[in-house]
Amino acid sequence: MVVNFSIVPIGKGNSLSTQVAEVLKIVSESGIDYKLHAMGTILEGDWDDVLGLVKKCHKKILKDSDRVLTTISIDDHKGRTGRIAGKVQSVKRKLGKELKT
Amino acid sequence: MVVNFSIVPIGKGNSLSTQVAEVLKIVSESGIDYKLHAMGTILEGDWDDVLGLVKKCHKKILKDSDRVLTTISIDDHKGRTGRIAGKVQSVKRKLGKELKT
Amino acid sequence: MVVNFSIVPIGKGNSLSTQVAEVLKIVSESGIDYKLHAMGTILEGDWDDVLGLVKKCHKKILKDSDRVLTTISIDDHKGRTGRIAGKVQSVKRKLGKELKT
Amino acid sequence: MVVNFSIVPIGKGNSLSTQVAEVLKIVSESGIDYKLHAMGTILEGDWDDVLGLVKKCHKKILKDSDRVLTTISIDDHKGRTGRIAGKVQSVKRKLGKELKT
């Protein structure tokens, strides 16, 4: 399955890049395939691996903040893999032109 | 923590109430505090209990559908409980008037 | 269409009930049908009315905060109305038992 | 403001790439800065331009489907622009290493 997630500490100031960097440190060392974009991080894997990783990141940010909002969107398409790149390629192919990605 | 979630099977027709009923059967028998509303279901509990329940519901819907989209929003406020009712009460108190809930 | 939304100011402290009360003041005076729950507010109406109201609330919270995160989920089912109550009733009917709502 | 959105028609089959291609045709011809990723499309601009574009896409998909689910996440940081690339660069700089983007 492919998962998009974001983790936001409340009440820690306007900038969130320090906390996102902490999350991406954990993600990039996890061995799980990922992709960072401006509005979240995409992961691909099975439920326990992916949700286990999101839990680890959530708990890390909760160490330095009293309130954390985490959003998780899951697209689970049976038997499909390689979809972080594949879904985007499929749209380009259907449209027949290059897109900003 | 308080969690809102929804589970949507793709390609199974326009009506989702049958699948939502299957989810609510599992939720209402789980022992975890919940509240159903028009755009999802709210749960309250710790990470493993709540995410374990969402996983069980997601896997159930995936049995009869090839593709399932699940969205999970988590509000984790340290040391707080009873927040499914409490958060709404707090807003009413601040505003000083009744609200549709 | 039925819409769930939430508006979160970043860096204004751990409690959000004051800002949610400001939002619900605007919503409850708008004439648009709504329902407050622990994880957001549900609205029902057409695109311009509902998104116009969310914009008004978002801009209000932005007056006192440098950064605001707003999430909007839209369920647009052609020709359906009365769905804030109707969707929940439909699930209860399918399941054949009472649920916490 | 930076906005992530996705539009999902219900009951039109398991594959969504045809509909996403229709959306990206509209987005790529709009003149608004965008970025497609595996779990949605990111836009940057002011409220009326960006939400107007999302409305146009939503209405397009609704022409061929009786039910459409659209999700919109807004990050509105006063006075900031160029954030589709900027937010990702800021995380890389904080972390001091390359990331998959």
ipTM for the predicted complex = 0.97
- Residue D39 pLDDT: 98
CA distances from C49 to C30, D6, D26 (A): 10, 21, 23
- Residue A13 pLDDT: 86
pLDDT for C18-63, tens place per residue?
Answer: 999 999 999 999 999 999 999 999 999 999 999 999 999 999 999 9
Chain B with chain D: Cβ pairs closer than 8 A: 24
- Residue D45 pLDDT: 98
User: Do residues D85 and A36 touch, judged by C-beta distance below 8 A?
Assistant: no
Break chain B into its structural domains and give their ranges. Answer: 2-95
Q: pTM, whole model, 2 decimals? A: 0.98
User: Do residues B74 and A69 touch, judged by C-beta distance below 8 A?
Assistant: yes
User: Do residues C48 and C4 touch, judged by C-beta distance below 8 A?
Assistant: no
Chains linked to A by 3 or more Cβ pairs within 8 Å: B, C, D
**Has residue D89 got a pLDDT over 90?**
yes
Q: Do B58 and A74 touch (CB under 8 A)?
A: yes
Mean per-residue pLDDT for A80-97?
Answer: 96
pLDDT for C6-17, tens place per residue?
Answer: 999 998 888 999
pLDDT for A35-84, tens place per residue?
Answer: 999 999 999 999 999 999 999 999 999 999 999 999 999 999 999 999 99
Of C47, C66, C78, the CB nearest to D78: C66
* Measured distance CA(D72)–CA(B62) in Å, rounded: 25
* Measured distance CA(D40)–CA(D45) in Å, rounded: 17
Say how far residue D10 (Cα) sits from the centre of its chain: 19
- Residue D14 pLDDT: 87
**Has residue D12 got a pLDDT over 90?**
no
Mean per-residue pLDDT for B17-45?
Answer: 97
Contact list in C for residue A71 (CB cut-off 8 A) is 71
pLDDT for C62-80, tens place per residue?
Answer: 999 999 999 999 999 999 9
Give CA angle at C36 (C30, C40), nearest 5°: 105
Domain B2-95: give its CATH architecture.
2-Layer Sandwich (3.30)
* Measured distance CA(A61)–CA(A20) in Å, rounded: 9
Say how far residue C52 (Cα) sits from the centre of its chain: 12
* Measured distance CA(A68)–CA(B32) in Å, rounded: 21
